[in-house]
Amino acid sequence: MTRRSTRAYKSLPVEGEKLKQVIEAGRYAPSGGNSQTTHFLVIRDGRVLEELAMLVKQEFSKMEETPGMYKSMANAIRASKGETYVFHYFAPILIVTANQKDYGNNIADCSCALENMMLMANALDLGSCWINQLRWLNENEVILDYMRKLGMADDERVYGALALGYPKTADGLPSRTPLPRNGNPVTLI
Amino acid sequence: MTRRSTRAYKSLPVEGEKLKQVIEAGRYAPSGGNSQTTHFLVIRDGRVLEELAMLVKQEFSKMEETPGMYKSMANAIRASKGETYVFHYFAPILIVTANQKDYGNNIADCSCALENMMLMANALDLGSCWINQLRWLNENEVILDYMRKLGMADDERVYGALALGYPKTADGLPSRTPLPRNGNPVTLI
C-alpha cells in the first residue's frame, strides 16, 4: 500500500546485502509453468549507466510521436530531444529484466519479478521506479547490441527494468503516502 | 518467498473482509503513468464459474496445438479435449484482470496487480494460482461475449486471472516450501 515511485536518487551506493535481498525477491516471483527464465542484469557500474543513458537518449531522439501512441512513450520521445534526458533518473543501480523472446509469459514473468523487487525495496527503505524505456527499445539494434555486450543472450529481450537507490528526499526515505485509487474499478459478480 | 501456487481448493467461501484485502492489494499495484485502468471482475457466483469453465473447455477443445506453442497453452488445449477440464481448479473465486486493449502497459499492470493479490492471499492463509486461459482466449468471440455480459467494457480485454480460495491440504494451509530457484540467472555488471 505504501510503495511509491522514486524519481530522484542520492548518488549513494546501495549496500550489497540489501541489493541481494531485492534481487532474490525478484528471483522468487512466480513464472509461467515455473520456467524461471527471467534474466536479471544488475547494472551498478556508473560508466555503463552513463553510456546506456546516452544511447537511450540518442535512439529515442531519432523517433517521432505518432497519434494514439502510449502517452509515457510519447513523453520519452519528446524529452529525449531536449538537452538533458536521463531515462533512469540517475539511480545508482538499474536492474534490467530480460526473458526469452518467444516465450508467451515473458512480459508477465518480468512484471511479477519487478513488482516483488519494488515491494522489497520499499521494505528496505530504498526507492525504486519501473523503467520502460529499454522495453520500448527492445528491438532497437543499437540497444540490443549494447545489452548483449553486457551479457544478455541472443534469444532474450528486455521486458522491463527497475531504477533502485536511496531517495533524494529531506528525510532520506521514500515517499509513502499512497496515491488515491480512483480508477481500477471492481465488478463483483 | 513462501508464495506457492494452489491447484486444489476446498469449496468453502472466502470471508468478505479477506477478499476485500486481496482486491485492495491488487488495486494498489503500480500502473503505467498511474493510469489505474485495471478492471477487477470478481466472480464468486458458482453458476457463472461453472458456465465459464464449460465455455473455456468448449473453445479450447476447438483449437489445435502448433509447433513451438507455449507449453502451458498446449497443455490446456490437450486437457480440454478430455472428459473433465476445469481451468480454474474449482476455486470458489476467480478474479479476472482486464485492461484497455490499446494501452501499452496492459499486461504489465495486470501482472503487478495479480502478483500483489497472490502475496496478500498468502499472507491471509489463502491459496491462489495465476490463471492464463482467459488471456489466451481474450480475442475469442464466445469468451469476449460472456465477459462483456459480466461487465467487461468493449475496449477491454483479459490479461490474466487469479484462482482464490482455501487450499485443499491436510492442514488447510497453502504449501509454503519454496521451489528451488535454479533458473532466473543474475548477471552483475
Write the CATH number for B29: 3.40.109.10
**Residue B50 belongs to what domain range?**
16-165
Task: Check CB contact under 8 Å for B45 and A189.
Answer: yes
Q: Grid cell 513488482 — which residue?
A: A115
In a domain, B149, yes or no: yes
Q: Grid cell 484485502 — which residue?
A: B21
| Joined grid coordinates for residue A61 | 531522439
Is the ipTM, as predicted for this complex, more than 0.90? yes
Q: How much is the pLDDT for B82?
A: 87
Give me the total of CB pairs closer than 8 Å, taking one residue from chain A and one from chain B. 163
For A73-118, write each residue's pLDDT tens digit.
Answer: 898 899 999 888 999 999 999 999 999 999 999 999 999 999 999 9
Distance, in Å, from the CA atom of A46 to the CA atom of B119, rounded to the nearest integer, reads: 34
Q: How much is the pLDDT for A148?
A: 98
Taking only residues 11 to 70 of chain B, the set having a beta carbon closer than 8 angstroms to any beta carbon of chain A reads 23-45, 48, 68, 70
* Distance to chain B for A171, nearest Cα, Å: 23
In a domain, B1, yes or no: no
CB A6 within 8 A of CB A127: yes
Q: How far are the Cα atoms of A45, A53, A93, A142, A167 from residue A90, in angstroms, in the given order? A: 12, 9, 8, 21, 11
Instruction: Find the closest chain A residue to B70 by CA distance.
Output: A104
Give the number of other CB atoms < 10 A from CB of residue B70: 18
* Helix H or strand E encompassing A135: helix A133-136
Phi, psi of B95 (to 5 degrees): -105, 110
In a domain, B6, yes or no: no
Of A33, A36, A115, the CB nearest to B116: A115
Distance, in Å, from the CA atom of A122 to the CA atom of A129, rounded to the nearest integer, reads: 11
**pLDDT of B48 over the 90 cut:** yes
Task: Report the amino acid identity of residue B27.
Answer: R
* SS3 category, A60: helix
Phi, psi of B7 (to 5 degrees): -120, 15
Starting from the edge strand earliest in sequence, which strands make up the sheet with B93-100, in order? A186-188, B39-43, B93-100, B156-165, B127-131
In a domain, A118, yes or no: yes
For A7-47, write each residue's pLDDT tens digit.
Answer: 999 999 999 999 999 999 999 999 999 999 999 999 999 99
In a domain, B175, yes or no: no
Beta strand ranges found along B24-155 (DSSP E) = 39-43, 93-100, 127-131
Q: Mean of the per-residue pLDDT values for chain B? A: 95
CB B38 within 8 A of CB B98: yes
**pLDDT of A175 over the 90 cut:** yes
Distance, in Å, from the CA atom of B108 to the CA atom of B119, rounded to the nearest integer, reads: 17
Question: What Rg value do the Cα atoms of chain A yield, rounded?
Answer: 17
Task: State whether residue A78 sits within 8 Å of chain B by CB.
Answer: no
In a domain, A127, yes or no: yes
**pLDDT of B83 over the 90 cut:** no
Distance, in Å, from the CA atom of B48 to the CA atom of B26, rounded to the nearest integer, reads: 22
* Distance to chain B for A79, nearest Cα, Å: 15
Name chain A contacts of B176, Cβ cutoff 8 Å. none
In a domain, B106, yes or no: yes
Indicate the number of domains in chain A.
1
Of B24, B33, B107, the CB nearest to A108: B107
In a domain, B68, yes or no: yes
